[in-house]
Amino acid sequence: MKRIPWLQPVATLLLAALVLFVSSALLSPIAKEQEEQELQSILSTLLPGADSFTQEAYTGEDEAISAVYKAENGYVIETVTAGYAGDITMLVGVHSDGSISGLVVRDMQETYGLGMKALSDVAFLSQFLWNGTSFTVGENVDALTGATVTSKAVAKAVTSASAFVTGADIGSSATEWGG
d(Cα 40, Cα 69) in Å, to the nearest integer?
10
Q: Is 167 exposed, middle or buried (0-12, 13-18, 19+ CB in 10 A)?
A: exposed
Yes or no: say if 148 and 137 are a contact pair by the CB < 8 Å rule.
yes
Yes or no: say if 155 and 177 are a contact pair by the CB < 8 Å rule.
no
d(Cα 146, Cα 1) in Å, to the nearest integer?
75
Provide the whole-model pTM.
0.72
Q: Is 85 exposed, middle or buried (0-12, 13-18, 19+ CB in 10 A)?
A: middle
pLDDT tens-digit profile of 16-52? 998 888 888 877 788 888 888 888 888 888 888 888 8
